[in-house]
Structure 1
């Protein structure tokens, strides 16, 4: 995977609102609204990128005083990633991938939310979309 990220997708989580399996309290945003991205502030973000763009995903807790542990478990396959663009973890909840094929599709993001250290975690499945032009 080549390149410095130019597309940033952030996942913000209100740990007081999330419940097992629900996307309530999960908000996705990107830096591509001027390029046609839609559904900012929802779990169904639709990101518009240029083919060849390197993309970085981060996850954040809205409550900066919370001890909750948040992580992106994985990012699923999508035809836009191409042969070598599959997003991979680069440490500390950060994933990086690359749009290598023109087109668009939904992809899966699985996030883990541990509301309190030592508590059972909650898995939330997101299904945003991406289009590469």
Structure 2
């Protein structure tokens, strides 16, 4: 993966609102609203980036006093990732990828919410989009 991340996408999860398969209580934001990103605060964030940008995704539990664990399981492929492939897990419990092709596409992010430590958790798939110029 080339470069230091300049685009940051955060996923905030209200673990009390999450139900099986539902994106209620899931809020996505990025640092690109000044560049045209849309639908901030929803599970359908539309991020605008420059081709070549390195992107970092992180997921957080809104309730900092909770022992519940939220994690990114997978970020699916889309044409914007280009030849470098889909984003991958990074050492800091985040995912990192790079926009290597211009265009716009939707992609899937699967997150897991363990309301109780050691439980199987609830998997949720988000369907944001990304555009690279």
TM-score tier after normalising by the smaller chain length: over 0.9
The TM-score normalised by the length of structure 2 is 0.98
Q: Which has the higher helix share?
A: 2
The alignment status of 1:75 with 2:80, answered yes or no, reads no
TM-score by length of 1: 0.98
Q: Say how many residue pairs are matched.
A: 133
**CA distance in structure 2 between the partners assigned to 1:88 and 1:71 by the alignment:** 13
Show structure 1 runs of 4+ deviating over 4 A: none
List gaps (5 residues or longer) in structure 1.
none
Q: 1:97, 1:44 → 2: CA distance?
A: 19
Q: CA deviation at 1:86?
A: 1.9
What displacement does 1:46 show? Answer: 0.1
The match for 1:40 is: 40
Cα distance change of structure 1 residues 29 and 8 upon mapping to structure 2, 3 Å threshold = same
Contiguous gaps of at least 5 residues in structure 2: none
Over 3 Å counting, the alpha-carbon distance change for 1:20 and 1:92 in structure 2 is farther
Measure the CA separation in 2 of the matches of 1:91 and 1:40: 26
| Structure 1 residue 64 displacement after superposition | 0.3
Structure 1 residue matching 2:84: 3-state secondary structure:
coil
Cα deviation, residue 63, structure 1: 0.2
Aligned to 2:28: 28
Q: Secondary structure at the match of 2:79?
A: coil
